[in-house]
Amino acid sequence: MAARDAAGLRPPGHGGVRRVHLGVPGRPRPRARPAGGQPVKLYLSSFRLGDHPERLVALLPTAARVAVICNSIDAEDPALRREKVADELTWLTELGLRPEELDLRDAGDLRTRLAPYDGLWIRGGNVFVLRAVMAKSGADQVLPELIREEKVVYAGYSAGACVLAPSLRGLELCDPTDAVEGEIVWDGLGVLDHAFVPHLDSPGHPETELVAKVAGLYDRTGVAYVPMRDGQALVVDGDRRELG
């Protein structure tokens, strides 16, 4: 990038650690924009709903319909996958939302399938498995358009946040690429101009040591990223951008 953008990124070649500086929690910043320049609504958590799920609810209308996308765990045992999907639906229902699973592998025009929903909830798992399914279904084209048009609130955690980056390079240090059937897609959705590294300094999470290696790689190679520990979530709502 040629200059610092509204997200607070430093351009390559300026030296030092390329972590994204978010400023004082709750204080308005310049509008947080994706690559296309439009404001967006995002709730990006390190792990599950985070410590303040009410911030997700605040982005959505009352009793919002939410499409729950769990394709990041498609490589897991089908019975275990069903259990994990059920857990996501339960947690979101407890927040007063109306969640339904939307499987990207199912046939049908994706824009039409997503039209009834106010928000998306993208479950964590293997980011490369998720990205491959997004490519096959056309979600990698449709979702960025819906986000930039403010047709939906995009929310999710771990892989669901990481996939918005310009590139997924480096995440192979924590997510095995051999879980992907077919070609590995290294490009992210490019909705935002920085990467995410979840689960940092999170002793209870099994991947915390692996993601520390990802952060180290990004530091050495000048990749801008948001570091997140479990419990934290990045909330973007027009002029407001808060990590907490």
pTM score: 0.87
- Could you tell me which residues come within 8 angstroms of residue 237 by beta carbon, excluding any fewer than 6 positions away? 41, 59
If one compares 3 and 180, the residue with the highest pLDDT of the two is 180
> How far from each other are the two terminal CA atoms of the chain, in whole angstroms?
26
Residue 33 placed within a domain: no
74, part of any domain = yes
Quick one: tokens of 200? 């940092």
CATH number of the structural domain spanning residue 176: 3.40.50.880
* 28 located within any domain: no
In a domain, 189, yes or no: yes
Domain range holding 54?
A: 41-243
* Average pLDDT score over the chain: 88
Phi, psi dihedral angles at 121 (to 5 degrees): -125, 110
pLDDT of 28 reads 37
pLDDT tens readout for residues 130-184:
999 999 999 999 999 999 999 999 999 999 999 999 999 999 999 999 999 999 9
Over residues 203-221, the pLDDT tens digits come to 999 999 999 999 999 999 9
pLDDT at residue number 35: 52
pLDDT band at 83 (very low <50, low <70, confident <90, very high): very high
In a domain, 50, yes or no: yes
Confirm whether 20 is domain-assigned: no
CB 122 within 8 A of CB 163: yes
* Residue of 226, 157, 235, 142 lying closest to 189 (CA atoms): 142
Say yes or no to pLDDT of 26 above 60: no
Residue with tokens 């394709």: 71
What mean pLDDT is predicted for residues 83-101?
99
Instruction: Tell whether 78 is covered by a domain.
Output: yes
Asked whether residue 67 is assigned to any structural domain, the reply reads yes
| Number of structural domains in the chain | 1
Cα(69)–Cα(66) distance, integer angstroms? 9
Question: CB of 172 within 8 A of CB of 166?
Answer: no
The more confidently predicted of residues 10 and 185 is 185
At 31 the pLDDT is: 38
